[in-house]
Amino acid sequence: MSKQTEFYWSLIIEPGWIQAAVWTINEEKLAHIVSVSPSIKWEEEADLVQVVDSALSAAIHKFPEGAPEPQKTVFGVSSSWVADGSIKKEHLDQIKDVCSKLSLKPSGFVVLSEALAHAAKMEEGAPLTGVVVGLGENTVDIAVYKIGNLIGSVNVGRSISIFDDIMEGLARFKGSDALPSRFLLYNGNEAELEDAKQILISSDWVNNPKVEGVRFLHTPQVEVVGSERKAVAVSLAGASEIGNVEGVLMRDGVKDSELSSDTNVEAEKMGFVLNQDVSKEVDKIPQSSLDLPGRSMKRVILKKLPAWPRISFIELGSIRKKKIVVGAALVLLLAIFISSAIFLPKAKVVIYVSPKTLEETEYITLSESLSSPDYEERILPGETIEVEVSGSKTNKATGAITIGDKAEGTVEIRNGTSVSVKLSAGTILLGKDDLKFETLESASVSAASSPSSPGTQKVTAKAVGIGAEYNLSEESGFSVGNYPKSEVDAIAKVAFSGGSSRDIVAVSQDDLDKLEDDLTKELLEDGKSKLSGNVSEGMMLVNGVLETDVISREFSQKEEDEAENVTLDLKINVKGVTVNEELIRKFAFDLMGPGIPSGFALRPEQITIDFSLDEEVDRGEWIYETVFKANLLPETDTEEIAKKIAGKKPQTAQDYLKTIPGYVRSEVELNFNIPILGNLPYLTQNISIEVEAEK
């Protein structure tokens, strides 16, 4: 290439991804793609400059040695960055920051969907009829083209179902005409695009209630736009406007497509206009007389970025300097005040609406042996997970027992019968108040020699129970065993003494049971937390714990041990069941969908699911009574609400908010409010709108 060859940057900025390309226009009027960087992830706004720098560095590694580094830059942005034909201010500030810090000169920008439609015509020789879908992390950009004309574009929030998101966007194009059956998917993550393609290909485009009202001539065909193809499209858009290119030359030297155009076209006719959407003027541009037959093309798709504001300082004459300085200062203060009134105020508006509660109950079976769902039979795949948890807990002992000593004394056994009496040790002696004693030794008592001279023998006896009541005095009488007292009896020859008792705190069985119950509950909560932490991505835990098994149990004391406290060390195994969250929410959404009232919206993430184990049918298979609940909120357009109340007094804004369906009340919180004005911010992006259910 000659030294006069000028190189250009293409810089693609998507939500979450950055990509760069280097290109030039060679002598054959071909857009020569020199190098394309891979897509690089970015998340924080503060990292944008650094990530862009990395993408530029990756793209320039094949740059010709000695050639001047590019400065002029064409930006490719998603439609969510553009409003009324211009880049939104908050994103324009980001681009300015990138250009300033990386020495880039902005040449213009192109919306990615328009660039892809333009490139598709160049590749195929016919205007695009299709749906161009940009998959962002939080949003989905959808643009519909028919014979090269943009029918419209929408931006919808991203949910767990890409099919539902696209259908939600296409539903806004409902009409008698069928929508295009060709889909082009793009973003910076090609692996995600392939997954999305497979999901869309396998989706039901005929019987799904989400497709109701959206007509296609045949089952849609889905294509993935690779990162390189996207970079080429943006570069081609820039080359088509900056120079009179006739085709694209890829990095390997292969001519990708041919493009003929008029020569010596003035810049204004090429779309370089300030703050104006040139697509509105597209019919005024003469078509190329050198296009291939049947391939006429509206070429003006590149839009000019607004110029950077500049401030000039003029040296003042000595005589008028003071007055002019004072006047300039007043003007500056007024400008600061006006700028502050416009840019600094922020507001948070919370709108409370009356929700409608939708509830459905179904019996669902979760089975470990199932690999795919059977919605008709209400059976979903389930997986078990287990964790071990252990802990220690101490409770106060609340039991009470009586302890003490037994009274002891000596008795004389008297036998009044005519035969001798033999008594074994342990013979029961019954004293007054039915107090029981037992002999500590055996005795053989001789027969009575006369009625007044019974046979006698002394033995030691001890109280059966403890307590001072067993301390009986000398000469106390006792019956002996089963003998009638008139035939055989006993009297105390040495008083019974030493009997005592006292009450102490001891461990009861209730203490042990309660301690184990309390510690088990604590360990179950710990187990639920650990189970939740071990749930695989995309799965949800079914109401915590399914069952527990004790691994080890050890008490510091046993029942009736004297102690103030008792401690338990416990280890248990906790088992839970998980189910695929997307499958269960899809089941719930399909179940509840027909019951959604008109004017209300339901998203799968709004549904709460409560499982209650009904029975375990077999090992590895459980039936749950499952309650699905959702608080449906009225459909509201928060962007439209922000536009309606921007710059209004709070009371005027609330009067408008009262017209919202289901309105109950609202709260308006102003930050950095200027007291003399008291209005809501004039910029809609400075107004945060939240819609919540009134509790």
As a whole number, the mean pLDDT across the chain is: 81
pLDDT of residue 298: 35
Closest-CA residue to 411 (of 515, 495, 330): 495
Poorest-pLDDT segment among 38-52, 96-110, 168-182, 560-574: 168-182
What is the reported pTM? 0.41
Poorest-pLDDT segment among 57-61, 72-76, 103-107, 334-338: 334-338
Q: Label the pairing between strands 86-87 and 139-146.
A: unpaired
In this structure, what token pair is assigned to residue 505?
A: 């705190």
Q: Residue 207 pLDDT more than 90?
A: no
Instruction: List pLDDT tens digits, range 390-427.
Output: 999 999 999 888 889 999 999 999 999 989 999 999 99
Closest-CA residue to 459 (of 432, 497, 426): 426
The residue that leads in pLDDT, 608 or 66, is 608
pLDDT of residue 672: 62
Closest-CA residue to 566 (of 396, 317, 425, 450): 396
Say how many C-beta atoms besides its own lie within 10 A of residue 554's C-beta.
10
Is 136 within 8 Å of 80 (Cβ atoms)?
A: yes
Burial annotation 588-626 (CB, 10 A radius, 16+ → b, else e): bbebbeeeeeeebebbbebbebebeeeeeeeeebbbbeb
Q: Residue 261 pLDDT more than 70?
A: no
What's the rounded Cα separation, in Å, for the pair 551 and 490? 59
pLDDT of residue 522: 93
Residue 125: helix, strand or coil by DSSP?
Answer: coil
Closest-CA residue to 33 (of 214, 255, 337): 255
Closest-CA residue to 621 (of 583, 579, 573, 651): 579
Q: What average pLDDT does this structure show over 113-141?
A: 89
Q: Residue 316 pLDDT more than 80?
A: no
Domains in the chain: ranges and CATH: 7-111+230-249 (3.30.420.40), 116-227 (3.30.420), 343-384+532-551+566-694 (no CATH), 406-499 (2.40.30)
The residue that leads in pLDDT, 226 or 676, is 226
Instruction: List pLDDT tens digits, range 488-525.
Output: 999 999 999 999 998 889 999 999 999 999 999 999 98
pLDDT of residue 258: 39
Going from the C-alpha of 112 to that of each of 8, 137, 152, 185, 409, the distances in angstroms are 18, 16, 14, 11, 110
Residues whose CB falls within 8 Å of the CB of residue 440, separated by 6 or more in sequence, listed in order? 425, 459, 460, 461, 462
Q: Give residue 467's pLDDT band: very low, low, confident or very high (50, 70, 90).
A: very high
Q: What average pLDDT does this structure show over 355-377?
A: 89
Closest-CA residue to 271 (of 240, 247, 315): 240
Share of the chain above pLDDT 90, in %: 31
Q: What average pLDDT does this structure show over 259-282?
A: 33
What is the H or E stretch that residue 322 is in? helix 321-343
- Ramachandran angles phi, psi of 520, nearest 5°: -65, -40
pLDDT of residue 606: 77
pLDDT of residue 286: 32
Share of the chain above pLDDT 70, in %: 83
Q: Residue 322 pLDDT more than 50?
A: no
- Which of 306-310, 344-348, 566-570 is most confident? 566-570
Q: Label the pairing between strands 139-146 and 130-135.
A: antiparallel
